Amino acid sequence: MSKERIQTTDPIALLREMVAIPSYVKREGDGSYEANETHMGEFVADYIRRNTDMVVETQEVVDGRFNVIARGKGPTSVMMLGHLDTVQPRQGYKHPPFSAVVEDGKLYGLGSCDMKSGISSILTAAATVEKTDGLMLLFYIDEEYDFAGMKAYVQKVPEDLRPKIIVSADGEEMEVMYACRGLIEVSGFIRGESGHAGRSDSGKNAIYKAVDAIREVKAHLAKQFVSPQMGTTTLNLAYLRGGLDDGLDKDGVRQFGKEGNNIPDLAQFVIDVRPATPDLNAQQILEMIEASCKEQKVELEETSIRHDLGAWLSPIEDAQDALDIIRQQVGTVNLKDPGSFGYVDVAMLWQKLRRSAVVVGPGARGTAHSNNEHVVEDEVYKAAELFKRIIEKYQR
């Protein structure tokens, strides 16, 4: 890449270069990657070094994949962030996914909406602002897959990091997000007692007991963990299988007997919980299931936690200065219903820092992850100016 090309402060020109860089993750059978975010991370780090006076460092996360962190002089007063990765390419694109075609005022391509347009807006804002004092930028990997980048950063957040505002550019049509439900995923086995199906009282049906325990927990969560902004906490029984415990096969996979005349003595489950309040965690969920199992005289075994990500609920009034700037730039402030979308990983940062946080960005509604992914050029220019003004406001 040439020095002239990477020095642009036009967010659309910069976006076209970034869309042309594949940054999806596809793991091969031998554990290697066909593609990942490395080239995108190098591009972003190089742009910041060439176009700002910020100090840039990389944080290795896994297998050579890394986050990019940049800091201006002095204590951080405003923190802006975005994720470097995209989903994998799919079939049927209107235009080739890495071509960055501009047509009728829209730029098409994989990542154009989610979220390279947000990154280009942040970068050009940082490159054109009078000074970068108090500014911190975080660009991280793996948002579309397992949140490895944000998890790694949160584990090593500096103790003195106290920004006045955190801004993620992972938004659509300049709507403002200030909260989201959490994401908890737990799994385990419930052990009953085998018996003969002809004598229903001769055993304890593990499948029935699992369903009863999970239903009880679901009802408790919906009643006790409620917020005005996000409604009730929900539980989804995503996976359930059971039967007579036949032990493990040579690969360590649990085997189940399927004979109809046996009362199943083991059930395996996976549940997904979307907390509506920040005070609910995975361990509490498992304790609720275990309590229900004890009441039914069955055992909870081999539990595991895949996700334990709490809800995010930032008081919107704490971001009033940012909202005023959004209103001036956009004409209005549209608050997105926190109960209408999934988990947003800025929640991890908020859980750690408990500082005012918003998500606002230029993505085109409903096109992320689609074969029609695009962004409206005017929205990208609008976002770049918005981020510049937010930086200037919170530097004071």
Q: Is the pLDDT of residue 5 over 50?
A: no
What domains does the chain contain, in order, with CATH numbers? 3-180+311-395 (3.40.630.10), 183-309 (3.30.70.360)
Write the single-letter amino acid at 224: Q
In this prediction the pTM is: 0.87
What span, in angstroms and rounded, lies between the C-alpha atoms of 354 and 351? 6
CB 187 within 8 A of CB 303: yes
Sheet order of strands, 102-103 included: 102-103, 106-108, 374-376
Region 207-212: mean pLDDT is: 97
| H/E run at residue 296 | none
The tens digit of pLDDT for each residue in 79-133 reads: 999 999 999 998 888 899 999 999 999 999 999 999 999 999 999 999 999 999 9
Region 203-225: mean pLDDT is: 97
The tens digit of pLDDT for each residue in 165-178 reads: 999 999 999 999 99
In which band, very low, low, confident or very high, does the pLDDT at 251 lie, cut at 50, 70 and 90? confident
Backbone angles phi, psi at 374, to 5 degrees: -160, 175
Q: Give SS3 for 179.
A: strand
Q: Spell out the alpha helix ranges (H) of the chain.
A: 3-6, 11-19, 38-51, 117-128, 148-155, 206-224, 282-295, 320-330, 346-353, 377-395
The tens digit of pLDDT for each residue in 301-359 reads: 999 999 999 999 999 999 999 999 999 988 999 999 988 888 999 999 999 999 999 99
In which band, very low, low, confident or very high, does the pLDDT at 207 lie, cut at 50, 70 and 90? very high
Tokens 């990208």 sit on residue = 380
